[in-house]
Structure 1
Amino acid sequence: MSILDQFSLNGKVIVVTGGTGILGESFVKALAEAGAKVAILGRNWDKAIERVQLVEALGGEGFAVQADVLNEEQIIQAKDLILEKWGTIDGLVNAAGGNLPNAVIGPDKNLFDVSVSDTLSAIELNLNGSIIPTHIFGQVIAEKRKGAIINIASLSSHQAITRVLGYTVAKAGIVGYTKWMATELSLRYGDGVRVNAIAPGVFLTEQNKALVTNPDGSYTERGQKFINNTPFGRLGNPSELAGALVFLLSDASSFVNGEILYVDGGFSAWSGV
């Protein structure tokens, strides 16, 4: 197999949770361009249909499934629908997540006035929202002993990012979960099953837009801090995650397991000096 063939996802069935979001859209597009059949999961049915249309416009096959990643019964039903349509699942991208407005601690807010329930909801979405789909879709991958699972970590997985406690705790948990599941699946089902994570830098999305930009489009003080502490001197473009995604799902990364791949313009590498 040539090196170019190793990067191909031609004919592989890839499930993308959170496929209706900003980063999810970039993932869906990249997978379609790499030849995958893409199952788009999300709560927003209209957006899911738009993503299917995007896949089809690129000459691929898409399938929309309305489901909440925190609802185990709905995810089981989604799995059954995908298997009924395509007969197998080769990969899973756990892209559902993001911060919740009420879980953000404002700079003028008392740290201890933050809603504990909202913080726990942010943890649940970003951690349980990956665990539940992995245990349901991952069983198909494990039993066929071939496939890849990609979780989405964050800069906050290994260093403190102020004001987003629930998100930080959850993304740190994603790293632990990725390494644990990578180990267990490989030991039990062999070297054809892999679990890795992508840790994006700061990309402008609907969830963080109010935190990093002003209504006029200029950067907030917080947004400018991210830029100042990134050697590239800018925020990321969602399309810049495509290469890492395709690599980790493809045979080109066949000996990569339990790893966290940072795509952050050097933010995590720089000391600031």
Structure 2
Amino acid sequence: MGILDKFSLNNHVVVVTGATGVLGKSFVDALAEAGAKVAVLGRNREKLQERVQAIEAKGAEALAIQVDVLNEEDVIRARDEIIAKWGTIDGLVNAAGGNIAGATIKPEQNLFDHDIRDTLKAIELNLNGTIIPTHIFGRVIAESGKGSIVNISSLAASRPLTRVLGYTVAKHGVDGYTKWMSVELALRYGDKVRVNAIAPGVFLTEQNRNLLINPDGTYSDRAQKFINAMPYQRLGEPDELKGTLVYLLSDASALVTGETIFVDGGFNAWCGV
């Protein structure tokens, strides 16, 4: 097998949760371009159908399933639909997550006055929304003896970001869970089952738009601080995550497990001097 062949995902069945989001769109496009059969999961039925049409336009196969990743019965139903259609699962991308409005602490707000229930919801969405699909889809991958799971971490797990407590705590959990599960799966199922994470830098999404963009369309002070802290001096483009995702799902990364790969324009590496 040549090196380029190792990056191919031809006939791999890959499940993407959170496929209706901005980053989720980039992920499913990348998988279609790499030849995968893509199961797109999310809560917005209209956007799911848009994702299917885009995948099929690239000549790949797709299956849309409306799912709440925090509902175990929903996820089990999705697993059964995928197995019924394609017979197996080779990869999982846990892209469901993001911050929620009530969990963002405003600069003028007393730190201890915000509703802790919103913070706990953000933790549940990002951490439980990774654990539940992994335990259901991951079992299929593990018992087949070969496959790859990719979680979505964040800069917030390495450099705690102000104002987003729940998101920060959850992404620390995702990093820990990635390492723990990578070890357990390897010890129990062998060296062909892998778990890694991608830590995206700052990308403009629907969840963070109000934090990064002013009503007049200019960058907020917060966005400008991010840009100033990046050697690349710009926000990321969702398509810039594609290569890392395909690498981690493919045989090209056969010896890589338990790792978090930053795609952040150098943000995590730079001290500012």
Pairwise same-fold verdict (TM > 0.5): yes
Q: Aligned-pair distance for 1:107?
A: 0.5
Q: Aligned-pair distance for 1:217?
A: 1.6
2:72 corresponds to: 72
Identical columns (%): 68
Q: Distance in 1 between matches of 2:111 and 2:73?
A: 36
**Deviation sequence 1:13-68 (CA, Å, 0-9, x none):** 00000001000000000000000000000011111011000000111111000000
Q: Distance in 2 between matches of 1:40 and 1:188?
A: 29
Q: Distance in 2 between matches of 1:216 and 1:190?
A: 54
SS at match of 1:241: helix
Counterparts of residues 98-117 of structure 1 (less than 5 Å): 98-117=98-117
Q: Indicate yes or no: 2:241 matched with 1:245.
A: no
Q: Distance in 1 between matches of 2:64 and 2:216?
A: 35
Coordinate RMSD, CA, aligned? 0.4
Q: Distance in 1 between matches of 2:165 and 2:97?
A: 14
Aligned residue identity for 2:47: K
Aligned residue identity for 1:12: H
2:93 corresponds to: 93
Gapped regions of structure 2 (runs ≥ 5): none
Q: Aligned-pair distance for 1:272?
A: 1.0
Which stretches of structure 1, 4 residues or longer, exceed 4 Å deviation after superposition?
Answer: none
1:156 corresponds to: 156
2:49 corresponds to: 49
Q: Distance in 2 between matches of 1:93 and 1:198?
A: 10
Q: Distance in 2 between matches of 1:6 and 1:217?
A: 42
Q: Distance in 2 between matches of 1:90 and 1:250?
A: 10
**Deviation sequence 1:115-138 (CA, Å, 0-9, x none):** 110000000000000000000000
Q: Aligned-pair distance for 1:216?
A: 1.9
* TM norm structure 2: 1.00
Q: Distance in 1 between matches of 2:84 and 2:66?
A: 16
1:232 corresponds to: 232
Q: Distance in 1 between matches of 2:182 and 2:140?
A: 15
Gapped regions of structure 1 (runs ≥ 5): none
Q: Distance in 1 between matches of 2:215 and 2:25?
A: 24
SS at match of 2:14: strand
SS at match of 2:82: helix
SS at match of 1:29: helix
Counterparts of residues 124-139 of structure 1 (less than 5 Å): 124-139=124-139
Aligned residue identity for 1:194: R
Q: Distance in 1 between matches of 2:202 and 2:158?
A: 14
Q: Indicate yes or no: 2:56 matched with 1:34.
A: no
Aligned residue identity for 1:265: G
Q: Indicate yes or no: 2:212 matched with 1:212.
A: yes
SS at match of 1:76: helix
Q: Distance in 2 between matches of 1:25 and 1:216?
A: 26
Instruction: Give aligned pairs, total.
Output: 273
Q: Distance in 2 between matches of 1:217 and 1:93?
A: 32
* TM norm structure 1: 1.00
Q: Distance in 2 between matches of 1:97 and 1:215?
A: 25
